Amino acid sequence: MALPSVIPRTLPMLLLLGVSGVYCDSHSMRYYITGVSSPGSGLPLYSVVGYVDDQEVTNYNSDTQRYLPKTEWMKNLGPEYWEEETIKDRHAEPIFKHNVKTAMNRFNHSEGLHTLQRMYGCELRDDGSIVGYQQYGYDGRDFMYLDTQRWIFIPTMNEAQISAQRWNSPDIRLAENDKYYLQNECITFLKKFVEYGREYLEKRVRPEMKAWKRPESVHTTRLNCLVYGFHPRAVDVKWMRNGVDHIPSDEMSPILPHPDGTYQIRVSVEVPKGEEDTFSCYVEHSSLGEEPVRVNSDPDNCPSITVIASIVCAFVILVSTVGVGLFYHKKLRLGYKSTKHPIFIQSSFIS
């Protein structure tokens, strides 16, 4: 199916992966490869950022010109690996810059600030099943994505039809190469990285929980439930009436990162005045055991100044990270080649 627009989808995929559902020992690896047409955006002209689960693990950009580990446990790959991958990305950078220009031509853009991004990766689920994904965008909008059921490229813009038709043609069949990577090499590297970082990736930190209420109008009250300081990210927070009826939230924050590596989320609902005591917030997280924890609202349970400061700090971290996932980029190849690099490189757009 077609993907929604890039801005609302990329940000959640970068930062909010795992918002719904309780944590299980699934792991994912994904890469955001971004290019910018001209300086002035505050972003490098070319960048590659890799994630395992919610943790940034690798980074290359046109400013540093180095492929670098972003965690201590990724340094287990050794200096030779990072040197080899630096060389590969230096060779890939001019190819990508050509892609940006080609994309601009497709849209009849001769100047100005434009962005191109490719996001791809794989997931290993706790039942042993695997999932791969790959998508592209231009200037904050969907451009094209890989249908991993039929293994064909689907254009989401008229300007992408040329590439999709070419890549799906019998003489190219690019999706077959991508299928091999996503179902084999990507999973192999994901397993290796998870093994290196298991102590961090699978640590459990119990959340702090606060629920409070405040008048919303003459007839309604707003109930707020703040869950913070937890790890891993996956969490399920919901308001229920009498412990039975789930009340859909009309206001939910994204899961925000804290500087200490933990997370927070706030879920709010509007309820009839006088009926507040029939509602409770239920929290499910891997650190809490089998049963969800119930939190009742209390007008004196509002977050302290310290907690509020951490919320602001988390939002700042979110905004600063959006630069990686705000756009889509692509480097395309015409043939599969085995590589020690978890990132696979493709040649330029088909003109």
What is the mean predicted confidence (pLDDT) over 89-116?
A: 92
> What confidence category does residue 298 fall into, taking pLDDT thresholds of 50, 70 and 90?
confident
Please, are residues 230 and 285 in contact by the beta-carbon 8 Å criterion?
yes
Please, are residues 47 and 60 in contact by the beta-carbon 8 Å criterion?
yes
Other residues' Cβ atoms within 10 Å of the Cβ of residue 335: 9
Report the range of poorest mean pLDDT among 37-41, 76-80, 296-300. 296-300
**Tens-digit pLDDT profile for residues 236-277:** 999 999 988 888 888 888 899 888 889 999 999 999 999 999
Please, are residues 247 and 278 in contact by the beta-carbon 8 Å criterion?
no
What is the mean predicted confidence (pLDDT) over 127-137?
A: 93
Q: How far apart are CA 30 and CA 276, in angstroms?
A: 42
> What confidence category does residue 15 fall into, taking pLDDT thresholds of 50, 70 and 90?
very low
Average pLDDT of the chain? 81
Q: How far apart are CA 325 and CA 6, in angstroms?
A: 9
Q: How far apart are CA 54 and CA 71, in angstroms?
A: 12
Please, are residues 151 and 157 in contact by the beta-carbon 8 Å criterion?
no
What residues contact residue 176 under an 8 Å CB cut-off, 6+ apart?
151
pLDDT at 7 over 90: no
Q: Which of 345, 322, 323, 328 is nearest to 35 (CA)?
A: 328
Percent of the chain with pLDDT over 70: 78
What is the mean predicted confidence (pLDDT) over 81-102?
A: 93
**Tens-digit pLDDT profile for residues 149-174:** 999 999 999 999 998 999 999 998 89
Q: Which of 99, 110, 108, 116 is nearest to 41 (CA)?
A: 116
Please, are residues 221 and 276 in contact by the beta-carbon 8 Å criterion?
yes
What is the mean predicted confidence (pLDDT) over 175-195?
A: 95
> What confidence category does residue 303 fall into, taking pLDDT thresholds of 50, 70 and 90?
low
More confident residue, 341 or 184: 184
CA distances from 342 to 35, 57, 58 (A): 19, 12, 10
Instruction: Go through the domains of the chain in sequence order and give each one's CATH number.
Output: 6-201 (3.30.500.10), 208-320 (2.60.40.10)
Q: How far apart are CA 319 and CA 97, in angstroms?
A: 26
CA 217 to chain centre: 37
Q: How far apart are CA 120 and CA 111, in angstroms?
A: 28
Identify any residues that bridge with 252 across adjacent strands, giving them in sequence order.
267
SS3 category, 150 = coil
Identify any residues that bridge with 47 across adjacent strands, giving them in sequence order.
34, 61
Tell if the pTM clears 0.75, that is, is over it. no
Q: How far apart are CA 89 and CA 147, in angstroms?
A: 27
What pLDDT is stored for residue 247 in this prediction?
83
Q: How far apart are CA 180 and CA 281, in angstroms?
A: 44
Positions of E strands within 37-86: 46-52, 55-61, 68-69
What is the mean predicted confidence (pLDDT) over 2-9?
A: 30
SS3 category, 70 = coil
